[in-house]
Structure 1
Amino acid sequence: MPGPSAGVSVRLWDAPVRLVHWALVALILFSWWSSEDHLNWHRWSGYAILGLLLFRLWWGFAGGGAARFASFVKGPGATLAYLKTLGRREASVTPGHNPLGALSVVAILAVLFAQVATGLFTVDIDAFEGGPLSDRVSFETGRAIAEIHELIFRILQALVALHLAAIAYYLVWKKTNLVRPMITGRRWLPSDPGLSKAPWWSLVLGAVLAGAAAWFVSKGLRL
């Protein structure tokens, strides 16, 4: 495994990225568990997920270093070039997400946004429970959106399974532990890539804006 002789220990993932990542993991599992018999908790879990997603979107532009979308979202050329290296057994030294991993991250975030958005309009089969915007649509439309909401979750499950398979592949084949840096924030790299840091006020502003937006949505877009 990489160590001091292999390079330098770099602060890769900042605390906001790691907190959002693991909070989403916990809340997705909680939402899954609460989707049948605890709909009130399910709704609040969805609002929390929305707040985290909005903050991650903000942090992808206003955050620092590896958190920025610009640092890992690449074009088709870079992605195809990276695909050619997958069969090699040497450890991955890409700081942050590699071009293929970036597609996985963007896809999961997009599907989560779609999952939350449809949940806002869903209505249960007895019309007793619904999302905060369910009064904006008919019962039939709300039920149709509920079906889409469930389908999107199946897509999310598939993406998470692929994500976990990729983590296992990198651990076994490329001898690269992708989980530890998401816990500690640090990773050994051949050299320091010089990742920038975001100012503290950007973190505070993003958290306030994301929290306020999620609260506003939870109130049915009513003050």
Structure 2
Amino acid sequence: MYNHKTLTKVRVWDLPTRLFHWGLAIGITGLAISGTVGANAMAWHFRFGYTVLALLLFRIVWGLVGGRWSRFGAFIYAPQSLIDYIKGKGRPEHSVGHSPVGALSVFAMLAFLVLQVGSGLVSDDEIAFAGPLTAFVSNATVGLATNYHANIGKWILLGLVVLHIAAIVFYLLRKHNLVQAMVHGDKELVRPAPSSRDDLASRTAALLVFMLCAGLSYWVSTLETITF
């Protein structure tokens, strides 16, 4: 039997994952504000968009090679695990990284962010701004992407963000501070659990991965200067 008064501190979120999380929060906020203001702020909307693209590319790679609890394999759950968790029958490991419900939220957020950024790359407001990939797709695709990006996708993401904040508040009321763990990376657990690797070597590798992703994002941004 474990003594519930004895807690074990475990490094759950490595530094690269934490920086990604807060960088993404800033990027999404910047996109929302600049997209709403429009006009001259659209230049910043594109900059934030390319930044979020780099972050998403990084997270996809880091989800394969990152810290133990940042890897996608650590929070891919079977449907029955999700049902059991909702019924209050979750397993101890569900309290370490992302729970089944949290994992569903993460995958939904990443998927719709990819759709939003991807649609933005092939959108055209027919006034002053067009995504760098519009020349590579048909006019029909540009029209569909523009409509989704401006009128559908942003509201889906807003809903997901609201749900995310509501979940944070819900757990905070239950004395479970999710934000704190994403700041310093550690969780105090009743049961011991493996720690995520978070040392100089892994952080250096993450920096190199992000630099490559940022370079790819920048290259995509330059495609708008290509004429056909």
Q: How high is the TM-score relative to the length of structure 2?
A: 0.85
Letter in 1 for 2:45: H
Give the number of equivalent residue pairs.
215
Check conservation: 2:13, 2:67, Cα contact below 8 A.
no
Q: Deviations over 1:166-223 (max 9, x none)?
A: 1111122x32111110111111101331124164353244223312221221122889
The worse-fitting range, judged by mean Cα deviation, of 49-58 and 65-74 is 65-74
What residue in structure 2 maps to residue 29 of structure 1?
A: 29
Q: Does 1:194 align with 2:194?
A: yes
Q: Which piece of structure 1 moves more, 43-52 or 198-207? A: 198-207
**Partner Cα distance (1:196, 1:161) in 2:** 28
Could you tell me which residue of structure 2 aligns to residue 100 of structure 1?
101
1:162 maps to 2:163? yes
Q: Which digits, 9 at most, give the CA deviation of each residue in 1:57-85, with x for residues without a partner? A: 11111001111111112110111111111
Match of 1:10 in 2: 10
Asked if structure 2 preserves the Cα contact closer than 8 Å seen for 1:8 and 1:189, the reply is: yes
SS at match of 2:69: helix
The 3 A distance-change label for structure 1 pair 207 and 9 is same
TM-score by length of 1: 0.87
Matched position secondary structure for 2:187? strand
Specify the alignment match of 2:175 in structure 1: 175
Percent sequence identity is 37
Instruction: Report if aligned partners of 2:131, 2:224 keep a CA contact under 8 Å in 1.
Output: no
Give 1:93 deviation, angstroms: 6.7
Instruction: Within 5 Å, give how 1:136-151 maps onto structure 2.
Output: 136-137=136-137, 141-150=141-150, 151=152
Q: In the alignment, is residue 123 of structure 1 matched against residue 124 of structure 2?
A: yes
1:18-71 superposed Cα distances (whole Å, 9 cap, x missing partner): 111111111111111111121111111100000000101111110011111111
Q: Please tell me whether residue 83 in structure 1 is matched to residue 71 in structure 2.
A: no
Q: 3-state SS of the aligned residue for 2:123?
A: coil
SS of the residue 1:188 aligns to: strand
The structure with more helix, counted as a fraction of residues: 2
Following the alignment from structure 1 to structure 2, what is the Cα–Cα distance between the partners of residues 72 and 182? 16
C-alpha deviation, 1:138, in angstroms: 5.3
Tell me: CA distance 1:221–1:55, structure 2 relative to 1, closer, same or farther (3 Å): farther
Query: Are the equivalent residues in 2 in contact too, given 1:120–1:131 (CA < 8 A)?
Result: yes
Instruction: Name 2:223's counterpart in structure 1.
Output: 220
Structure 1 unaligned regions, length at least 5: none
Q: 1:51 aligns with which of 50, 54, 72?
A: 54
Question: C-alpha separation between the residues in 1 aligned to 2:112 and 2:211?
Answer: 24
Structure 2 unaligned blocks of 5 or more: none
The answer to whether the 8 Å contact 1:51/1:210 transfers is yes
**Distance change (3 Å), C-alpha of 1:141 and 1:57:** closer
Q: Which residue identity does 1:189 align to in structure 2?
A: L
Cα RMSD (Å): 2.5
